[in-house]
Amino acid sequence: MKTLLVLGAGTAGTMIANKLRRRLDDHEWQIRVVDQDDQHHYQPGYLFIPFGGYLRADVVRTRHDCLVAGVELVVGEVDRVDVREDRVLLQDGRELGYDYLVIASGTTPRPDQTPGMLGREWRRSIFDFYTLEGAEALAEALAGFDHGRLVVHITEMPIKCPVAPLEFAFLAESWLREKGVRDAVELVFVTPLDGAFTKPIASAQLGSMLDERKIHLETDFMVERIDDEHKMLVSYDGREVPFDLLVTVPLNMGADFVARSGLGDELNYVPVDKHTLLSVEHDTIFAVGDANNIPASKAGSVAHFSVEIFVDNFLERVSGKPMTGSFDGHANCFVESGDDKALLIDFNYDTEPLTGKYPLPYVGPMSLLKETRANHLGKLAFRHIYWNVLLPGRPVPLPAHMSMAGKNTPKKEA
């Protein structure tokens, strides 16, 4: 019997295991998934916790409940991958062999990588919301915050869900207005990018939205350290950004076992072919979701769309056929903008976000690059779709490849 071993039971790893369990003969293939615990987190839900929108029970389920029958969950921490022997060594001494390996270990915030971030102000005036514990701690801090300087900060790209920091800034502005304290709070958005976002058209739109809400945009800011004594971000070029409350997105890095195994780049992401997700060095290893180095957004939609391509490619490969599928970097992201509205952006490797309708061309019901209530309701509805359709590996009626139908380039102002 052959073994498919999946390292990571997050979004991509769970989808792959569930989809392939239905399509691989269970008399010929064993599917094992390894993760360090039995808790699956709906990570997009972290964004709403600081504002009282979700609780822990809304975003956590057991991994066992998320995997279909016939998939074995192995709870344990990976020490390293022995590529010569086709085996994975766990930290407790267990060894797991494989015929094919899928690395789906994601990306993780690393506040330890920025001097001063994990100092005495951590979880006192410096918070993250990319972890459940951080989002819950931030909820407590925001409840008592009614004046001062609130800074939203990105350490370095790439990061998981790159629009989430903007969403947080927009939601915070709306929330402060609802509390009646907006005029007493100065809001600042600090980014290492030269604009609000990575894609020019979307960056211009999102930058205008920051300006409309009187959120100051500080660009090209590469943080060197955090001066926790004086509550200040300090950049390599000497700029200083003071704060009373700092909401930061720490450096994101892939799993440490990737580095120990000699499989990763400087940020522990696995180099792969960006169209097939096959390792550039090992022909039995794939890396999916946030664990690889493809030049695409590290968003849940990328995991979803790329897994659709991967599954068919994998079945072709194990049948001795050439892989015919090609992932185009397709991503779409809801951007919560406050006041029960949101934008939706849809893009890929080669095409930046454009205006139009989604998912049906010219019909929608959701609008691209436009704030609407329908987009907001779509984002809220996604949690149900995630738990009940996406993770179980059921068909989702959305094309894996980006479609240009119904899209148009915004007209430039004269």
* Domains of the chain and CATH, by start: 2-108+253-318 (3.50.50.60), 111-252 (3.50.50.60)
* pLDDT tens-place string over residues 236-283: 999 999 999 999 999 999 999 999 999 999 999 999 999 999 999 999
Alpha carbon dihedral 202, 205, 209, 211, in 10-degree steps, equals 110
> With a cut of 70, which residues of the chain have pLDDT below it?
409-414
pLDDT of residue 397: 85
Per-residue model confidence (pLDDT) at position 56:
95
Predicted pLDDT of residue 414: 40
The pair phi, psi for residue 118, each rounded to 5°, is: -95, 30
Cα gap 45→61, rounded to integer Å: 13
Residues 6+ apart with CB under 8 A from 251: 109, 110, 111, 113, 114, 155, 156
Supply 73's token pair.
């969950």
Q: Are 363 and 393 in contact (CB under 8 A)?
A: no
CA nearest neighbour of 29 among 305, 339, 318, 367: 318
Q: What does the pLDDT read at residue 200?
A: 85
User: What DSSP line would sit under 374-409, residue for residue?
Assistant: HHHHHHHHHHHHIIIIITTT---SS-SSPP-TTEEP
CA dist., res. 201 & res. 223, Å (int): 26
* Helix runs in 39-131, H state only: 56-59, 63-66
For residue 409, the model assigns a pLDDT of: 67
